Structure formats: C-alpha cells, structure tokens
Amino acid sequence: METLKGKKALVTGGNSGIGYAAAKELKAQGADVIITGRREDVVIQAAKELGVTGFVSDQSQVSEIETLAALVSEKFGKLDILFINAGVLGGAGIESASEHDFDYVIDVNFKGAYFTLSRFIPILKDGGSVVFL
C-alpha cells in the first residue's frame, strides 16, 4: 500500500541496519527516499539495492550536515519525513572505552542528531514528521 505516495523522506544512516530497513519500508509505502552514510561505496550499493537516492555525509561533521541540507533542498525541495538514525557504537564496550571512543560516539549520536534537526528544520514541510532513533 502506498500511503506515503508523493512524500519525501530522508533517512540518515540509511545505508545499513535499521536505517536501511526504514528506508526500504518508506520506499515500499510510496515515499521518495534519500539515504545517507559515511562510506561512499556502501551508500552507492544500498541506494542501488533500494532504488533510492544516496548521499555521502558524515553526521559527526556540522559542515557536512549543512552541505547535505543545502543539497537536499536544492534537489528535492522540502521534506515530509526526517528520520534521524545515523549512529555508532564507538568500537569499545563502556568498561573499556577511551575518551576518544566517547567523543566519537557523542559527535555522531548526539551532536549529529542535534545539528541534523537544527539544519533541516527550515526545509521540513509544515506538519512534517521527525523521527529520532
């Protein structure tokens, strides 16, 4: 059923895991979907498999979030759905995490989510939906 036909959705971290599954479902429901990820080869492959648009963007870098927002706005106009999903584990368990591991997790999972919302608010349609995962 295409309940989202004509809607535009962006899924950060949509190149794998839960983000990939969310992008697949949004596409199945008829949305025009854009996915992001940090690794170009993985983004390209996922976008091809899903039949969606893929952009490389590191959500830990505010400048890349700003570039992404400008690119999405230019190519797609306003969004109906912003699915903020990009996240990392940091590579170490809490008991053995270093300060570097912690900073990396916070940069992607917290700062990235915060600034993604901040920079995308101007291109969200009135009544649009934001999902934080």
Domain boundary assignment for the chain: 8-132
Q: How is 42-87 classified by DSSP, letter by letter?
A: HHHHHHHHHTSEEEE--TT-HHHHHHHHHHHHHHH-SEEEEEE---
The pLDDT of residue 92: 65
Distances (CA, A) of 98 to 101, 102, 104, 112, 114: 5, 6, 10, 20, 23
pTM recorded for the entire structure: 0.93
Top-level CATH class of 8-132? alpha beta
CA-nearest of 55, 51, 26, 31 to 116 is 55
The pLDDT of residue 23: 98
The pLDDT of residue 10: 98
pLDDT (tens place) for every residue of the chain, 133 residues total: 789 999 999 999 999 999 999 999 999 999 999 999 999 999 999 999 999 999 999 999 999 999 999 999 999 999 999 999 999 887 667 888 889 889 989 999 999 999 999 999 999 999 999 999 9
